[in-house]
Amino acid sequence: MRLTLSRKRRGLVAAALVACLVVAAGAEQAGRGGGAAAQELEFAGTIPVAAGVAAVAGDHAYLAEGPTLRVYDISDPAAPRAGGSTTLPANIYDIDVAGPVAYVAMDFDGLATVDVSDPAAPRVLGTFRTPGQALSVSVTGTLAAVTNRLSGLEVVDVSDPAAPAAFGSYFAEGYAIDVAAGGDFAYVVDTPGGLSVVDITAPGEDLEAAGSLVPDEQPAAVAVGRARRGGGEITVAALMSSESTLTLVDVTDPAAPSVLASFRDPERPRTGAYIAAAATGGLVHVVLAESLALLGDAYPPFALQAVDLADPAAPAALATYALPGPPRDVAVSGSRVLVAVGGPQLGGSGEAAALVLRLAP
């Protein structure tokens, strides 16, 4: 999990995004019992830097291309300000920010913890080498869950970010490619194994899966959140396949994950993309924002889709935001959405940049 063009360049990017939002009809939303109010994705600003990895927390965006992590102040997204940067020993594949620390999955070098309490001077606190290739990281409490393509899931104790230590591991049957952690569980997707719900409450070399599920389409990305259903709340895992199908899974009972519904925009092309390539290449993305799922894929026409999850058993298209290039990563914090967009070398129509969008009612 899962975020400084010249003024002329910024204007060109902004102009390319004007009138790019198509919102589902408000009457249709009002006609669905219990549906959420329609929301729009509005352009707020541009960070003029090429990035393959994005994270956002509060007023700061965290962007990475290759081994370098850069911090930007986006308190005024129309005029983002560059902060500091730090270069790690390996390419960055994923970033998760929790409090004053950024947790970084860095290829074959494993996990790095970076102090970002001073945005002007981020600094590495510690590292932990994991077996295999670290592709994604997700933090819950004092634990960092890291997927390794060969070894599966590595759980790292980060109670002292300066001295990360082994906590436990889970061997996935296939190639582990993404993880979302929350509470007592890590939700891991691998190919061809599908989704595993791994109990991370007790340390040990052999962590166990409380439950598992293989959806109709192999997942390449995962996000986890809470949703309202039947007068109560449930825990939902959102799975995105390489064919851009969203599958919503009720994981409230971790021992018995069950499919709630699936959603796929019929206008999106089917590519037959190999699942591992889709994940490691960052071709598909899913993030959850309150009662919305935000979906991105790298297949033209390039777009960010918003899906209404007011009823997770009946997801519905809400909005589509056209992008000038492929979304290489998507992150959300509150009403801010950060999208790293690829440039001409990846099929884009403009220069690579990170777009700051706003979720507006």
Nearest-angstrom CA–CA distance, 160 and 176: 26
In a domain, 17, yes or no: yes
Give the pLDDT confidence score for residue 278 in this predicted structure: 63
In a domain, 188, yes or no: yes
Q: Are 197 and 162 in contact (CB under 8 A)?
A: no
In a domain, 41, yes or no: yes
In a domain, 1, yes or no: no
In a domain, 20, yes or no: yes
In a domain, 192, yes or no: yes
In a domain, 301, yes or no: yes
CATH number assigned to the domain comprising residue 49: 2.130.10.10
Q: What DSSP designation does 88 have?
A: -
Q: What DSSP designation does 275 have?
A: H
The amino acid present at 11, given as its one-letter code, is G
DSSP string, 91-120: ---EEEEETTEEEEE-BTT-EEEEE-SSTT
Q: Encode the chain (361 residues) as per-residue pLDDT tens digits.
A: 332 222 222 233 333 333 333 333 332 333 333 344 456 889 999 999 999 999 999 999 999 999 999 999 999 999 999 999 999 999 999 999 999 999 999 999 999 999 999 999 999 999 999 998 999 999 999 999 999 988 899 999 999 999 999 999 999 988 899 999 999 999 999 988 899 999 999 998 899 999 999 999 889 999 999 998 888 999 999 999 988 899 999 999 999 999 999 999 888 877 666 655 666 667 889 999 878 999 998 888 899 999 999 999 999 999 899 999 999 999 999 899 999 999 988 888 889 999 999 988 7
Give the pLDDT confidence score for residue 244 in this predicted structure: 87
In a domain, 269, yes or no: yes
Number of domains comprising the chain: 1
Q: What is the pLDDT of residues 52-88, one digit of tens each?
A: 999 999 999 999 999 999 999 999 999 999 999 999 9
Q: Are 103 and 158 in contact (CB under 8 A)?
A: yes
Omega before residue 215 within 30° of 0, cis: no
Q: Sign of torsion, CA 323 321 354 69? A: negative
Nearest to 329 by CA among 285, 298, 359: 285
Nearest to 56 by CA among 97, 84, 91: 97
pTM, two decimal places: 0.88
Strand-pair category, 101-105 with 111-115: antiparallel
Q: Which domain holds residue 180?
A: 7-360
Token pair for 178: 């993404």
Measured at the CA of 186, the angle between CA 190 and CA 151, to 5 degrees, comes to 45
Nearest-angstrom CA–CA distance, 241 and 18: 29
